[in-house]
């Protein structure tokens, strides 16, 4: 028991420089993947977010919910078409997407954070015109790409000690509702807030090299090289593109990390070696 207490004290002592480093900073966390469907993983994530807020960080959560959307579409008998691997979002589909993301998924995250002592509030990109979108591709229907961000509401919530939980639903200029890729939305929110960190939680360790081993740190130049060499490929390309675009628009650094690992956010922010792949410079 004494050994356990000593280990805990040493861990807290080592975390002090990192706690000081991030005091007052804004960290945007994209939450998605398998961790969203597991009750204990959800509780662990919520505790991490509340702890971050308690030690002086301004956390902002942006979530996805693809599996839940697929499940609800199947229940309703709505068939999806795909163009180049991307779902066509028609009028019926976007209604379901908004219902699932802003309702079921977003409120579950809010409830989990509040249960751990935080003050979370759910909103979408349509609230206070946070995320105004243009149509990304006419073939894809109501799929949007953020073109104008209005983050004042997020700053006011942060000043009030509240934790925003944002569903990636955008407002169209003509009153449309747009479905936005979760990573894209998180990158746009992070850029609008000039966040110190954007954490992209995934179902993989991070970016891997040609040898299959995790790369703990990357420069933007090296990331471009790995994409050209096709070492970075498949589903990792959109995440790296989000990282590069966010950093080009004022985000200090981006981390791609495994959201299935318990306390992944805390390990990244408050330990020397971090977690996942840090992209900077």
Active site residues: 30, 33, 66, 183, 239
> What's the CA gap between 191 and 182, in Å, rounded?
14
Residue 167 makes CB contacts below 8 A (sequence gap 6+) with 63, 65, 98, 101, 102, 105, 106, 122, 123, 124, 125
> What's the CA gap between 177 and 94, in Å, rounded?
7
Q: Which residues make beta-bridge pairs with 278?
A: 217, 255
User: How far is the CA of 50 from the CAs of 12, 40, 57, 67, 103, in angstroms?
Assistant: 17, 15, 10, 26, 21
160 C-beta neighbours (distance < 10 Å), count: 9
211 C-beta neighbours (distance < 10 Å), count: 7
Torsions phi, psi of 142, nearest 5? -85, 55
């Amino acid at each position: 028991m004494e050994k356990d207490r000593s280990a805990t004290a040493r861990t807290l002592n080592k975390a002090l420089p990192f706690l000081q480093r991030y005091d007052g900073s804004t960290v945007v966390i994209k939450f998605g993947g398998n961790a969203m469907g597991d009750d204990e993983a959800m509780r662990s994530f919520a505790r991490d977010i509340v702890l971050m807020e308690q030690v002086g960080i301004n956390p902002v959560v942006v979530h996805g919910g693809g599996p839940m959307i697929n499940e609800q579409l199947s229940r309703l008998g709505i068939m999806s078409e795909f163009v180049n691997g991307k779902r066509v979002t028609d009028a019926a589909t976007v209604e379901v997407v908004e219902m699932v993301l802003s309702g079921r998924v977003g409120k579950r995250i809010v409830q989990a954070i509040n249960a751990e002592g935080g003050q979370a509030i759910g909103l979408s990109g349509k609230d206070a015109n946070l995320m105004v979108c243009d149509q990304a591709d006419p073939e894809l229907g109501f799929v949007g790409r953020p073109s104008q961000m209005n983050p004042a509401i997020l700053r006011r919530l942060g000043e009030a000690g509240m934790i925003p939980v944002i569903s990636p639903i955008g407002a169209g200029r003509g009153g449309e509702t747009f479905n936005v890729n979760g990573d894209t939305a998180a990158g746009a929110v992070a850029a609008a807030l000039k966040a110190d960190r954007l954490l992209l939680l995934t179902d993989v360790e991070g970016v891997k090299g040609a040898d299959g081993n995790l790369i703990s740190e990357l420069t933007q130049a090296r990331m471009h090289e790995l994409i050209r060499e096709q070492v970075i490929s498949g589903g990792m390309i959109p995440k790296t593109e989000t990282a590069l675009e966010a950093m080009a628009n004022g985000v200090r650094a981006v981390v791609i990390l495994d959201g299935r690992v318990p306390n992944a956010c805390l390990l990244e922010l408050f330990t020397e070696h971090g977690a996942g792949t840090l992209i900077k410079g």
